[in-house]
Every structure is written in structure tokens, then in C-alpha cells.
Structure 1
Amino acid sequence: MDQLSAITANDLEVIRNPYLAIGVVVLVMLAVIAFKKMPRTEEKSESLDISGTFKRLLANRNYREGVIAQMFYVGAQIMCWTFIIHYGTEVFVKLGLTEQAAEARSQMLNIYAMIIFCLSRFVCTFLLKYINSGKLLMLLAAGGMLFTIATIFLNGVAGVYALVGISACMSLMFPTIYGIALTGTGDDAKLGAAGLIMAIVGGTFLPMAQASIIDMKVVFDGFSATKASFFLPLLCFVVIAIYGKRSQKHLPK
């Protein structure tokens, strides 16, 4: 178990550090944009109204909730892709594999999850021709919730397959939330887009919170802490589903 803990800590550090660095860079750039006066352009004689834009965006509930949903989505994606290796290793070791073989198999399943993610994006893009984007987002989040519940409560390989299946539901969430949140923002979308990109900070603190739960080893009177930690991605999908439902009234039929 000490070796497994060391592998888990290393995997988390590999994923966490780049996102922390990106988050710092984004915050610095936002500060520069906020405090540095924008240059004049040929199209407009006035500088960009940073203060006014921020006020309008903050007053826009659809945009504001979109940033929150995006933050939870990025967190869910990183958690499901990072800890699939830990989850799978724990399951396969219990089934009799060595830790090294279990980890190798889990890494392969992680690759399969990413392939499913890419293929599902084409399918979901096709569905957008027939389904309101807010409704599709809600349905995808509901699917993510079901797969996550299965991940938590199913035993053996079935739980691992459920975790892999979550990727199919996450495939189009980022661009869908992005588009919905910017609907109706007009010229404010230029800075509004930056806020949605900054939502990647969800990929820093949420995986760290999940890792803290996993480190508990056992919770709920013998229930695996690894399985219990996936209540966090479940919460993320609940937030996204609510946003998909609430956003439908802001979108064309």
C-alpha cells in the first residue's frame, strides 16, 4: 500500500502542477487586463470599458452560473481521468493482479476513456442539430451522474467500466457551457470568454480535495475511500445538470 500511495501522490503531482501554473498565469493576465487601459482601435474611438463590462457580466445570471458550471466541469474531468488509475488499481489488486499489472491495466483503460471522449464529441455535435444545447447539456450531466453513481456503488470491474463510461458524457460539456454562457453578452463576450477560461481553476482544488478523501483509506464504516471520493464528481455533474436546465430559457428553441 505504501508503494500504491507513492504512485498516487506522483500521479496527482504530475496533473496538479501544470494546472496550478496555468491558473497563476491566467490570474496575472486578468490583473493586467483589469488595471491596464486598453488601447484605442480603428473601429471605436473609446477605450474598452473594463469596469462596466465586469459589472454587466456579474449581473448576468446565465453567464455567472456558466462560469461556475465550467469550473465544476473541469474539476470533474480532471478527477475522473486522474483517479481512474487509482480506482482501477485498487479493484484489480483485489481481483488478484499485482500492483504493477493492475496499474498498467488501469492506464490502458484511461486511454480508452479518452478515446471514448473523442468519439462521443462527434456524436454529441451531431445531436446538437436536433436538441437544444441546454437540454443536451442537462442530459449529458444526468448520464454522468448515473455513471458516477455506478462507479461508487458497483463492485469489481463493473465499477471501472462505469468510470470509463463517464468520459462519453463529458465530451461536449466544455464548449457547450462556453457557448451557452456567452449567449446574449454581445461585445462583453470579449472579456466574458476570459472568465470562462479561468474556470480551469476547478481542475486544481477539486482533485486535491478528492485526493484528501482517498488518503483516508476507509470511510462510512468500511466503505472504500476511493469509491467515496467520487461523490465529488457526482456533485459536479449535479451542478452542471442544474445549469443545463436553467439555461434553456435563455436559448432559442
Structure 2
Amino acid sequence: MPSREEENNRNHGQTVRARRRNNRPHWRPSLSDENLNEPQPSGPPQKQYNKFYTISANNGCHLSSIDVIAANREIENTLKGKPTKINETRSGTLLVEVTNCQQSRTITTIKSLAGVPVTVAAHERLNESRGTIWYPNRPNYPDEDLLAELSQYGVKAVYRTKRREHGVLVPTPVYVLTFDGCHLPGHVAVGWTRCQVRQYIPKTRRCFNCQVFGHGASSCRQQTGTCVNCAREQHDLPCTYPAKCSNCKLPHPASSNTCHFYKMEEEIIATLRDKR
């Protein structure tokens, strides 16, 4: 009868052979494995650097008319490399997208280009991003209190969305957060409630005057309005004519979300958002 020691050795050998057949290496605890269950350090993200800057001439001249070769060389020498992109705007200024944090700090030291005094400033809108969170807000915090709590994540504006029910605007649990930076964090926390941050997708913008997408009525150049239902010149409401879209000419109002132009505008917004 085999002894206990011989039986243990035989079982160990069978285990090793089975492990080799399954190609499973023997696991040994390591220092990293011992710390797997320890809580990982967490906290508010560090402040992001500005990526977009405008450069304008102090005398009001168009920077496209100066010595652009010399000016571009001066920009690259100051930044110690090429920026991601430089674009000329219609107003004659330059829109510069820097590559890293070092370029973000050094671009502000530029005082002149090709002998022309210039001013460098961070872009007002492009250096921010917007995301949405779902937070039920059972304590009924006002937006000001939520802004104070979320400012540690770089949030600089909080807006609670609303929906219309029976003619009355009712607040929803969806909040739009504006972040001071081009990249959104994965989550934010209100107290102990962890909220996932999703990319904010703005709604399509349709002019209520001419019914064309892409601008608002305040900046519309069309003198006479267009009826949203029948595509005729603006007339007394309610409209009694058959529905006809002023954009695609199909039998539906210009406000319909089934319109080809509406869907195309949604795709444009999504593409611009993803490329940003």
C-alpha cells in the first residue's frame, strides 16, 4: 500500500502534467498581485491645456498679407516644432492648434510676426467641451450648488434640460456640463453618486424665418418668411394648405425629423463633433 508521501507526489505530478497539457503556467503571487484589491488613487483630473489660439495684428491688417514664410518660421522656432494646424480666418486672423502643453505655454510669448505686432489669445469657444450626465438630483440641488461641486472636474457651467409636458416645462435628470478643456472625463461624482459623462450632441438648428438649416432667425438674410408647413410665403396661422417641405419639396413640414435635409444636418453635426 503506497504511503501518504508517495500518494501526494503522484497527485502533484498529475497536476503538473495536466497544467502543461492545458498550457497553463503555474501562478505565483507577486507584489503587484497582492495590491490588486487595494483601491486605486482617484481624484479630479488635472487642468487641461488650451489647444486653440488666435493671433491677430494689433494694427488690424490681415495676417495673410504679411511675409507668411518668415512668420511661419518664427512660429515654429518659438514653439520648437510645427503646430498641429494653422488656418487663416475671414477676419484676417490666424487660428493655431498647438500639439502639446509646452507649445500651449510658449505660443503666448509671441509678440510680433514678420515685424508686425500681434496679440495671441486663447480661443473663446474651441477650448471647451460639453458632455451630459444623468443625475436624478433627489436632494433638489440648484445648478449653482452642482457647479460648485463639479468645478473640481473643470466644469464651468451646468444646465438642466427640460421637456414640455401638457404645455409646462418640466426639469429632467439630464444635465449638460461645459468643461474647461477639449477632452471629456469618463465620469464625475456628485457626493457618492458616480455619473458617466457622455458626449453632448446638439440638436439641429433650423431658421424659423426661411426654414433652412444651419442658422437662426436672428441672422437670416431673407426678407420675407417661409411657412414651415406649406413652404409658401409667411401667412396667417393656422396654415390650411397641404404640407410641403421648403427644403426637400416632399409632402411634410420643414420641421419633420424624417426630412432628408434634417438627417443630413444631424450627420454633419456628428462628423464635426467626432473630428474635433
Q: TM-score, normalised by structure 1?
A: 0.22
Bigger helix fraction: 1
Higher relative contact order by CA 8 Å / sep ≥ 6: 1 or 2? 1
For the pair shown, which has the larger CA radius of gyration, 1 or 2? 2
Q: TM-score, normalised by structure 2?
A: 0.21
Bigger strand fraction: 2
